[in-house]
Structure formats: structure tokens, C-alpha cells
Amino acid sequence: MNDRGRRVLLHVALAAAALVFIFPFYFMVIGAFQENPTNDPSSLFPIGGWTTRNFSDINSRVPLGTALLNSAIFTIGVLLGTLTFGLLAGYASARLRFRGRSVVFVAMLLVQMIPFQLLMVPLYVLLTRTYGLGDTHIGIILPFLVNTTAVFIFRQFFLGLPESIFESARLDGASELRTLWSIALPLVRPAFVTVILVTFIGPWNEFLWPFLITKDVTMQPLAVALANYITNVSQTASNPNGAILAGACVLAFPVVLLFCLFQRYFTSTDVGSGVKG
């Protein structure tokens, strides 16, 4: 087989793999807009029977506006904390020389190995009984402010930048914060976008912790509200399958939109452009 044939075969294989991954999203969207529940395989390619009633049923049973606002507060708060602390910690562990740096990095990796579910009960007791943060947005956000995965991503990216850039900045009298803000930060845009996407998916889809920390319906994020709807209410809808898939569409749409907006930033930066010679 010649090179052209190999390329054609590779493209066909990649297209087939893409279709396999896209099919669940296609099924979700088609099912969300179907008027009547059916198990007929031909429903995957419907000609008629389109409706938005499944979304109307959700909006009539779940305060979508309040739930979206709570999810936005939760997710934006976690993003701000993750980006701030992750950027500072990643830069410090990669570019600053201090005693115990390797120990701190190993401890960070060990923290990543501990499932969050093991920490939920002691965190719940600490936040609700010790600090009185139950049924508050701060209580929901606080355990996620520092993300070791974000620290690791920033650290590895900073390690890949040329050391001469930072040495030149220090020779010119720039402080570490000025070096981080003016030199390092513009070069780590792909890592920055990666951290945003990785972090956004977690709190946006988080169910267990918000459900544990608050039982107030007006404070529950979208994932909790939709889970309650799917569990307790969707079976009473005219199209239970369509109602469940419509809820999944509402939850997945912001994540897909964010990826489509930011995917063009996943490009390598010319980190050597500031180095002479």
C-alpha cells in the first residue's frame, strides 16, 4: 500500500472513531427533542415529531434560572481560586529554589491519589459544625479552591520555558511577581486554557458535595436540581426518556460551548522567541 492509501485508510479510521464518540451526543440531542418515547431504531433519524416540551417540563418543575445561577457562582468561584493558587504554586515549585521543594512536589502527587469521596465526611463536619458554613456558597466552593492537577499542569509548563528568559528578567530588576505577570503568564496560555476546561467540568457536574452541604433548594446547583428531577419527577412526564435526555442536554451544553470557544487556543507557543542567539 502506498502513502496515499495509508493516509486515506487513516482518515477513514479517524472518521469512524469520531462518529463513535459523537453518537452519544447525537442520541442525547435527538432524544431531547422527540415528542413521543419510542424504542424504534428509526427514531435515531426522525423526520417529524419535534418538540421543545421536554425542556418546558423541566423548567416547570425545576427553577432552571436559580440552578444555573448557583452553578455559575460555584464554578466561577472554583475557577478563580484554582487559577490563582494553581498559577502561584506552579510557578513557585518550578522556578523558585527553596529547601524542601521536591518534598512539596511529592506531597502534591500523593494528594492527587486520595479520592475526594474519602474526605467528604470530615470536610462536611469541619465546614458545617466548626465553621458554620453549611447552606452557603462559601461552604460549597472552599474545598475546591486549590486543585493539585492545576498546580501540576502549570508546574510542568513553567519547567518547559527557557531559564534564560527568567534570568534576563531578574537581571533587569524585575520582581518574581512582575516576572510571572509580564513574562511567564503570556507564554502559558495553552496551559491556562487547559486548566480552565479541566476545572470547569468538575464543579459544573459536581453532585455529591453540593447535595451534602446544602438541602436548600434555592442554593442547589444545576447538577443537583437535574438529578432530583430525573430521580423523582421525570417519570411523571409525558415522555420520561425525553425529559431525562433534555436534562442531560441542559447540563452538557455549557461544557460543549466552552470547549468550542477555547479549542482554538490549544496551540503551542513560541517560547523561544524571547531568547537571543
CATH code for position 84: 1.10.3720.10
Domain that holds residue 90: 63-220+259-265
| 273 assigned to some structural domain | no
| 211 assigned to some structural domain | yes
pLDDT of res. 1 = 61
Burial label, 149 (beta-carbon count in 10 A; 0-12, 13-18, 19+): middle
Q: What is the full per-residue pLDDT of the chain (277 aa) written as tens digits?
A: 677 888 888 888 999 998 888 888 888 888 888 877 554 545 566 666 788 888 887 877 778 788 888 988 999 999 999 999 988 888 888 888 888 878 888 888 788 788 888 888 888 898 888 888 888 889 999 988 888 888 888 888 888 888 888 888 878 887 888 888 888 888 888 888 888 888 888 888 888 888 888 888 788 888 888 887 777 766 677 777 788 888 888 888 888 888 787 776 655 444 444 444 4
Q: What is the pTM of this model?
A: 0.77
| 208 assigned to some structural domain | yes
| 24 assigned to some structural domain | no
* Dihedral of alpha carbons 71, 91, 160, 170, sign: positive
- Domain count for the chain, please give it: 1
Q: Residue 259 corresponds to which cell in the numbers above?
A: 470547549
| 168 assigned to some structural domain | yes
| 184 assigned to some structural domain | yes
| 249 assigned to some structural domain | no
pLDDT of res. 44 = 64
pLDDT of res. 38 = 57
| 50 assigned to some structural domain | no
Contact (Cβ atoms closer than 8 angstroms) between residue 203 and residue 275: no
pLDDT of res. 62 = 79
Q: Can you tell me the distance from the alpha carbon of 86 to that of 157, in angstroms, rounded to the nearest whole number?
A: 12
